[in-house]
């Protein structure tokens, strides 16, 4: 975990397949603005615990980790910010542990609520006999073997592919183009760091998050119909595939129905899925605007600051 700064606590939650390092551009900007920043490796990644059981990666457990981290750091509350899978964990923390969350921000993945059926069931109906990566990830051991065969190549393809090269390839990576060069936002040293993390941790824990759709659905029944009451922000790239995952559905409008105080929404033109790495200046400005705006709500410094 990266921990730096002194002031109101902000917890940054990464997604798949990343680590705390995906927030490398945000940590110094937030610290310089007077915030204390914690960017953990979430359960199953990097330096964090890696339980074997699939059930250990359900949304209540992942959210409890963040609530426990806030308490362990001596803060009464924190602002939680999540990207990709980190966004649902941030939303889950706000719902299951509202006393620990002052405000919440999601990047790339909007909050859509529980829904009528588990997400995996919806995906099976949508894609039927067609390939979809989240369905491919369901069988334990299959995707692990593919991704762990050459970790650096796997991450390079996932981070940089903007097109499907071989739609009939047998595996996930077979379908992704391998770039001739890395994008401007990812250096060889960055890729080496990410690869080193997964060489040590493997992919089972990260993939287990995808294998909890039915369990998440059952656990979220306890907060079904409950709005996120805390001030909320949502950021995404205009080119992010996630926002177009369900054809004809405006996911941001759906999010507005699940959040009581969605006070900041921003689509960053020309950006893709790896938003805080691709466009750090824009993301930092948006986060700081959102965070600084909370001061007007009163008691921010007292409630987010360390209690010790």
User: Which sequence positions are flagged as catalytic?
Assistant: 84, 273
Residue 68 Cα distances to 47, 61, 72, 100, 113, angstroms = 17, 10, 6, 9, 23
Q: How many CA atoms lie within 13 A of 154 on its CB side?
A: 22
Question: For residue 145, with 0-12 CB atoms within 10 Å meaning exposed, 13-18 middle and 19 or more buried, which class applies?
Answer: exposed
C-alpha to C-alpha distance for 212 and 60, rounded to whole angstroms: 11
Query: Which of 237, 236, 293 minimizes the C-alpha distance to 261?
Result: 293
Q: Using only C-alpha atoms, what is the Rg of the chain?
A: 18
Q: Do residues 37 and 2 lie in contact, with contact meaning Cβ atoms separated by under 8 Å?
A: yes
C-alpha to C-alpha distance for 117 and 51, rounded to whole angstroms: 27
Alpha carbon of residue 287 to chain centroid: 15
C-alpha to C-alpha distance for 4 and 96, rounded to whole angstroms: 26
Query: Which of 46, 29, 48 minimizes the C-alpha distance to 37?
Result: 29
Q: How many CA atoms lie within 13 A of 268 on its CB side?
A: 24
Q: Which two tokens stand for residue 230?
A: 């805390």
């Amino acid at each position: 975990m990266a921990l730096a700064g002194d002031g109101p606590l902000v917890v940054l939650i990464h997604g798949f397949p990343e680590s705390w390092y995906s927030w490398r551009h945000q940590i110094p900007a937030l610290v310089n603005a007077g915030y204390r920043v914690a960017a953990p490796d979430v359960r199953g990644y990097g330096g964090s615990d890696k339980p074997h059981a699939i059930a250990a990666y359900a949304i209540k457990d992942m959210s409890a980790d963040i609530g426990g981290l806030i308490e362990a750091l001596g803060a009464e509350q924190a602002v939680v910010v999540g990207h990709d899978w980190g966004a649902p964990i941030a939303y889950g923390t706000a719902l299951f542990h509202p006393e620990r969350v002052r405000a919440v921000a999601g990047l790339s993945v909007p909050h859509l609520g529980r829904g009528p059926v588990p997400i995996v069931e919806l995906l099976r109906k949508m894609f039927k006999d067609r390939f979809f990566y989240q369905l491919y990830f369901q069988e334990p051991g299959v995707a692990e073997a593919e991704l762990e065969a050459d970790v650096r190549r796997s991450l390079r393809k996932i981070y940089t592919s903007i097109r499907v090269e071989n739609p009939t390839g047998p595996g996930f990576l077979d379908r992704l183009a391998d770039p001739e060069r890395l994008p401007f936002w990812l250096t060889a040293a960055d890729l080496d760091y990410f690869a080193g993390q997964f060489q040590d941790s493997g992919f089972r824990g990260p993939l287990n998050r995808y294998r909890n759709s039915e369990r998440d659905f059952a656990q979220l029944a306890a907060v079904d119909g409950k709005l996120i009451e805390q001030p909320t922000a949502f950021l995404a790239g205009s080119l992010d595939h996630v926002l177009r995952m369900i054809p004809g559905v405006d996911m941001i409008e759906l999010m507005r129905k699940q959040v009581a105080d969605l006070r900041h929404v921003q689509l960053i033109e020309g950006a893709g899925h790896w938003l805080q790495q691709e466009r750090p200046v824009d993301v930092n400005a948006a986060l700081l605007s959102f965070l600084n705006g909370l001061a007007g709500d009163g008691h921010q410094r007292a409630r987010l600051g360390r209690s010790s």
